[in-house]
Amino acid sequence: MASAILLAGATRATPAAAQACCAGGALVNPARLALHEDYAVGLQTRVRDDLGSFDGSGHYQSSNTEQDFEQDLAASFRLTARSQAGVVLPLVETRRLESRIPTWGSGIGDLAVGARYDLLLATEALYWPGIGFLANVVVPTGKPVGEGTNPASTDATGTGTYNATIGIDLEKVHGPLYVTLNAWITYCWSRTVLFTGSPPLTTSFPLQWTLLGAVGYVFESEAAVGAYVNFLDRGDNTINGVLTPGTVVRLTTVGVSGVLPIRDVWRVQASVFSDVLVSSFGSNELAGVGAVLSLVRVWW
């Protein structure tokens, strides 16, 4: 989940509303800064077991051949009262079965740099939701697919190209309840692959659309639990200037998460998730289940 950094913020509010806003936002992004926080550093571990895949027509088929592991180092800092920025650097490991033989690979993944500006905070208006603008850039610091050093390409850890994301976040609190809806679009630069003795292959990607909705409940201790659904969709690719039908990418993921504060300056977040393993809920994507565990230290 390092491909996008969703940074949220809060300011003057009633205690109950501010509590729900800050703790609820951590359900989405554990490195988010609360209204009184200036810096945060976090470590996140992610485990994913790919149970199958969707083909180009959206048909799901079981094939348990890959497990992915990721450790993220994340940091965020406040720029102004209404803006934040952050970075995420992942370390990626992959185990893949080739002819029933497991092959491991690892390496640094793609660096993500993001920022957020809050035009209207969730606790500032009685009826309107909070409105935040999101921006994110992914730098291809990982080894791209196709350039792995073993036959299974398990040490390929990145996309091989830059991408940029802009989006909007709507969030609202009502007593202990927290609700958010994020929508963003991602532009991915073209990627050219060189083959010995063959002409270069240049792939251009259309805009990718992503929607993320979450609802949470915040307890008086500022612990929180919630559930979310994430949907992404991208159209057909263009290869060497020719549109290639059947390359649409689509995936729907659902999950539950929880946040537990520890002595004011630490918080632990855990979540479990699953792609919807039913035909027509995905296309040209691996699908599986996984879990995430995060530990964050904050300063103010």
Q: Which domains does the chain have, with CATH numbers?
A: 15-299 (2.40.128.130)
Cα 190–chain centre separation: 21
pLDDT in tens, 49-100: 999 999 999 999 998 778 999 999 999 999 999 999 999 999 999 988 776 7
Q: Which two tokens stand for residue 216?
A: 């949470």
Nearest to 124, CA basis, from 25, 6, 213, 18: 18
**Whether pLDDT at 14 is above 80:** no
Q: What is the DSSP letter of 56?
A: T
Cα 14–chain centre separation: 30
Asked if residue 253 lies in contact with residue 217, where contact means CB atoms within 8 angstroms, the answer is no
pLDDT band at 183 (very low <50, low <70, confident <90, very high): very high
Q: What is d(CA 184, CA 182) in angstroms, rounded to the nearest whole number?
A: 7
Compute the C-alpha angle 258/253/171, nearest 5°. Answer: 55
Q: What is the pLDDT, as a whole number, of residue 20?
A: 60
Q: What is the pLDDT, as a whole number, of residue 63?
A: 86
pTM for this one? 0.88
Radius of gyration for the alpha carbons in the chain, expressed in angstroms and rounded: 20
Q: What is the pLDDT, as a whole number, of residue 73?
A: 95
